[in-house]
Each structure stands twice: as structure tokens, then as C-alpha cells.
Homo-oligomer: A and B are copies of this chain.
């Protein structure tokens, strides 16, 4: 099997959402190095379809931000397209104020970016009441737009990589409210492309539904707790067509080949509905 996280992957084509320079493309470079071909997509839907349809080898999906929470849409798309998690990478999110070259802070009037990025720079806007925040399609796309439109007084909030990508000027660095701002991404592939997890994998993600009866979630947690398996995260998503019933996504520490993990998943299968292993992969470093 070709390793997804070796950094020496010469041929992989990886779809990501956003324009070149987006945080997703930075994460792709961090995980796969310079030689992977990163393919920009306009939407998460388009990116998942590219991976599921075989137009690309992988797609790289943001799955959780440490301030904003889970990217629920990508949980739903992962399940819908039946992709497998092959690797995880984590990126420190630094927001910067970016303008065309030669523009001074005093000249800036309107700041474009993705609504989530704007929302993560509230203190900056509070300190600069003369600036208007303007929601846009994405972060790097805002830099591109500001460079192309040459709108007077326009700036963008985006990554350093986006500034470099479009030859823009870095006016202010690190304007986010909270420096504890990280996004985790999953590298996803069709099961036949993903292959088997290697020996370095130490984290597993599963999804299942439970019959709507008292104590069922407690029993599902017990399956892991009784075997000293550490749960890292639980997420619930609605079951479409069955109001107020849920799918549960669990991440835990362990390899699917470990006897206790196999026993736990066998135990869970006794009463859970539609249990699926989403992937077994190497956990991203705690921070950064």
C-alpha cells in the first residue's frame, strides 16, 4: 500500500475546498509534502464527489475546529459517500490582515473573509470600529478577489499562504481572538484506495445508530470503558426520516487489529445498528 502520510507521495491527486492558499491546502502540504497535486473545489459536496467518483485519489476534509466545533456537514458527507479515513493532520489557524501591496492600515475600510474567520477576529473588529466586515465565499478567495478587483480600501483575512499565493501584502499578523485555534482534517479515500491500516495507526473512528431505548448509549460507552479503551470524541447527528434519533460518531485510541478493539467492536455489534469502521489511522500530534 502507498502510504498517505509519508510526505513522499509523488502522484496523489488530493481535492480540497477553497481557492489555492486556503487553510485546507496548507494542511494538504503539511501532510503530503510538495509533490502531491492539490485540486481546488468550490464546495465540500464537489470535493467528496471528486474522491468518490475517482477523479482524485483523496479529499482532505476539515472535520473539527477547536473553537468552532465539528464540521457537521463533512460527517454527513463522509457517511453518504462511504469514504474511509486514511490519515489525520492538524493545523494551527492564524488569521492575518492582507491587502494589495502598498496599502496602509488607515486606508482599509472593508474586510472580506469567510464568516467563520470574521467571527474569530471579533476583538480586532471591536478595536477598529471604522472597519466593516464583509462575508465572502472563503478566506483565500477573499485575497484573490481583493487583488483582482482593486476595490479601494478593501482587505481580506486569510492565511500567510494565501498572501504568498496571490502576491499580496501581509499588513497585520495573528489577528485572531484566541491563539488556541486549531483545525483537524481527515484525508479520505474510497475503501479500495485506502487499503489496510499500517502499524503506526493508533486511532479508530466508528459510526453506529442505537435503538431508541433507555440506557442504549450507556451500553455503547460501556463496551469501550470495560476494556480500558480511551474515547477521544463523541458526536451525534440526526437520523434522516427518524426525528430525534441519532447516529453516533466515536473516535477512540486503538488499532482495529488489537484484540481488545476487535472484542469491543464485536460487543457493540451485538446491539448497535449499522456499525461501520470509518478508518484506523495515526492520530495527529496534540497541537500544532
A residues apposed to B, CB below 8 Å: 64-69, 72, 178, 180, 182, 214-215, 217-218, 221-222, 224-225, 228, 230-238, 240-244, 246, 286-287
Once bound together, how far apart are the Cα atoms of A219 and B253, in whole Å? 18
Q: Which of B221, B238, B244 contacts A217 (CB 8 A)?
A: B221
**A217 to B234, Cβ gap below 8 A?**
yes
Q: Identify the closest chain B residue to A219 (Cβ).
A: B225
**B72 to A238, Cβ gap below 8 A?**
no
Once bound together, how far apart are the Cα atoms of A71 and B272, in whole Å? 26
Contact (A243, B182) CB under 8 Å given A214-B230, A231-B217: yes
Q: Which of B68, B69, B240 contacts A67 (CB 8 A)?
A: B240
Contact (A68, B221) CB under 8 Å given A214-B230, A243-B180, A243-B287: no
- Does more than half of chain A's interface fall in helix, strand or loop, or is it mixed? mixed
Once bound together, how far apart are the Cα atoms of A230 and B243, in whole Å? 17
Q: Which of B180, B218, B241 contacts A241 (CB 8 A)?
A: B180
**B234 to A236, Cβ gap below 8 A?**
yes
Give 5 A-B contacts (CB < 8 Å), ordered by A residue. A69-B237, A180-B240, A215-B228, A217-B221, A233-B244
Distance (whole angstroms) from the CB of A271 to the closest CB of chain B: 14
Q: Which of B180, B218, B238 contacts A222 (CB 8 A)?
A: B218
10 tightest A-B CB contacts, nearest first:
A66-B243, A218-B225, A218-B221, A214-B230, A215-B225, A69-B238, A180-B241, A182-B243, A221-B221, A180-B243
Q: Identify the closest chain B residue to A232 (Cβ).
A: B244
**B235 to A236, Cβ gap below 8 A?**
yes
Distance (whole angstroms) from the CB of A270 to the closest CB of chain B: 17
